Chains A and B, each alone.
Chain A
Amino acid sequence: MTRKQKRLSVIVAGLAFLGAATGLTFYALGQKASYFYMPADLTTASVQPGQRIRLGGLVEKGTIQRGQGATVAFSVTDMHKSVKVSYTGILPDLFREEQGVITEGAFGPDGVFVADSVLAKHDENYMPKEVADGLKAKGVWQESKSE
């Protein structure tokens, strides 16, 4: 091989590598990214049982039930619709009634959302950003104007 051919083959190999990485990245984005929904969105979006999604909203008042062992059931609401969620584990410190929460998991065959993680990370208004945006879009949440 001449020097030019050698250089060319190195470049081709590099490009092939980058191409493969790009393909993998977009495949993974299609497969592994989980969409964020609020309860009212679920009526229009088709979410299959078993498909991983993130469900956000407010923890509905009076729905937290501690069951067997460390399993907890509660409902997530956006003031329009609410969804039953079951979770086994320790709820985050910031998990409270009527506060923003994001759960990640999938719907079981019985229509109950089985979460494997519950997040209550939030800003100083005690709202996860996604939930606050969603509530604003639905007109439930109003930003105070006097500040």
Chain B
Amino acid sequence: MLFWVIAAILTLSASLAVLLPLASGSKGAPSAGDHDLEVYRDQLAELDRDAARGLIQPAEAEEARAEIARRILRLGNADPVAKAAGPSTATRLVATVAVLAVPLISWGFYNELGSPDLPSQPLSARLAKNPADSSVDELVARAEAHLAANPSDGRGWDVLAPVYLRLQRFSDAAAAYRNAIRLDGDSAARQAGLGEAIANAAGGIVSAEAQDAFEAALKLDPASPKASFYLAMGLAQEGRVSEATAAWQKMLGTLPQGSPWRGAVEQALAESANKAVAAGEPAKGPDAGEVDAASSMSPQDRQAMIETMVASLDEKLRQNPRNAEGWMQLVRSYVVLGKADQARDALGRGIAVFGPDSEEARKFAAFAASLGLTTTE
């Protein structure tokens, strides 16, 4: 509401700036000739000063004086008399249009461009709001502000780290877990979380660094399902599928009924049967029906089907290239199919989409390296 009042006042004053001069009586302005005369007078005076200082020779000064005098004489004849301004119809029309144009144009444009209902949102005000009204992003920002001021608050990092993980801010999550471990000491949950963050930051690849974290977690809590699950995933990614399957089978045996990990393990087991997609985020692989169909087919048919799937993914990415997971899946698929050149090509295209310096590109490069693929050869 306040905004509309201000806008109205501004419009009014702008319109007045147009209206007032149009409505006021015309002052008799000096004609252009008077202005010129004043300048010539001054030129003459200055000529005298210059001559006195020797900046111009006496003969030339005389000549210059004559020049100026001639210009002054010319003034009398050339000065056109300013027309008396009778308020003609055209003038009135122009004046009316001008005065009306200001509110019409401004409100018209603002109607198109403005967001009158959107209040200003200074960060400090947003952070001072009641936490219950805040979005997750705002809560995170508040926690970040708190931790920026108190970086040695281990508990704060411990709370923030899983939130980062859920928000898919994996590198932030990894940093937060590291801080929590450094300040509040080791725990299985923290180490497993760190491993998960590192693995997800690398697009689901369980790197040596992630593996270290998971192993540390297992040492602290041999029953940690997260650590066991990801370590098995790491085995699968290294191509040790049977070992991975065994580990997952073992997990299924020990996991209590109703554990959220059962579903994940079962899915992983189902997918480890299909080597072509045996890594990364299981949910992004082909759906269960297709996998089932693939496992009951002849090897040739299966190969053909996988290739069709890969080709369709490739086609999809050509049309819709900003899909980081998609690119990694494509690269991985080509590697598994033994088509290193196409994998490299896909990698190059994926990097080009996001720009070589983007976070995605680095992720791609790390991911490719983990698959034993180099970009240049």
Partner of A99, one of B348, B353, B357: B357
B103 within 8 A of partner (CB): no
Which residues of B does A touch, CB under 8 Å?
320-322, 348-349, 351-357, 361, 365, 374-376
- For the complex of A and B, the 9 pairs showing the least CB-CB separation, nearest first, are A126-B357, A146-B322, A125-B355, A98-B356, A144-B353, A141-B352, A61-B376, A142-B352, A99-B356
A71 to chain B, nearest CB (A): 23
Interface pair A127/B355, CB less than 8 Å apart: yes
> What is the predominant secondary structure among interface residues of chain A facing chain B?
loop
A61 to chain B, nearest CB (A): 5
Interface pair B355/A61, CB less than 8 Å apart: no
Interface pair A142/B376, CB less than 8 Å apart: no
Q: Number of residues in A with C-beta < 8 Å to the partner? A: 21
From residue 59 to 75 of chain A, which have CB atoms closer than 8 A to chain B? 60-62
Interface pair B376/A77, CB less than 8 Å apart: yes
Among B352, B353, B361, chain A packs the most CB atoms within 10 A around the CB of: B352
Interface pair A61/B375, CB less than 8 Å apart: yes
Cα–Cα, bound, A36→B108 (Å)? 49
Residues of B within 8 A of A79 (CB): 348
A140 within 8 A of partner (CB): yes
Can you list 30 pairs linking A and B with CB atoms under 8 Å apart? A61-B365, A61-B374, A61-B375, A61-B376, A62-B376, A79-B348, A98-B351, A98-B356, A98-B375, A99-B356, A99-B357, A100-B356, A125-B355, A126-B355, A126-B356, A127-B356, A135-B352, A140-B348, A140-B352, A141-B352, A142-B321, A142-B349, A142-B352, A142-B353, A144-B321, A144-B322, A144-B354, A146-B320, A146-B321, A147-B322
Which residues of A does B touch, CB under 8 Å?
58, 60-62, 77, 79, 96, 98-100, 125-127, 135, 140-142, 144-147
Residues of B within 8 A of A77 (CB): 376
Residues of A within 8 A of B357 (CB): 96, 99, 126
Residues of A within 8 A of B375 (CB): 61, 98
Closest residue on chain A to residue B320 by CB atoms = A146
Cα–Cα, bound, A96→B361 (Å)? 13
Q: A99-B356, A140-B348 are in contact. Are A145 and B376 (CB under 8 A)?
A: no
Residues of B within 8 A of A142 (CB): 321, 349, 352-353
Residues of A within 8 A of B352 (CB): 135, 140-142
Cα–Cα, bound, A50→B250 (Å)? 69
Residues of B within 8 A of A146 (CB): 320-322
Among B348, B357, B361, B365, chain A packs the most CB atoms within 10 A around the CB of: B357
A67 to chain B, nearest CB (A): 21
